Amino acid sequence: MSALFNFQSALLVLLLLICTSAYCHQLFPGFMDRNKDGAFTGIFWKCARIGERLSPYISMCCCVMAVSLFIGN
């Protein structure tokens, strides 16, 4: 099933996007800050902001998602 039609898969993709964007922003802050106004790269900058400011909640969501995937299989 596609991630667009499965809520759990869509949530997993969103969490991975936020975590990856925050990690890349930590490695390349100049590149991410320079491209924050574009349509495609602006999404990554916004996800990086969410990941940096809400990191305890994002990490809890990742742990809950990992446990639910482990129990579901």
The pLDDT value given to residue 28: 85
55 occurs within a structural domain? yes
Tokens of 4: 């667009």
33 occurs within a structural domain? yes
Which has more confidence, 53 or 37? 53
The pLDDT value given to residue 40: 78
48-64 burial by CB neighbour count: b if 16+ within 10 A, else e? bbbbeeeeeebeebeee
pLDDT class of 10 with cuts at 50, 70, 90: confident
**pTM for the full predicted model:** 0.78
23 occurs within a structural domain? yes
pLDDT class of 37 with cuts at 50, 70, 90: confident
2 occurs within a structural domain? no
The domain of 18 spans 7-72
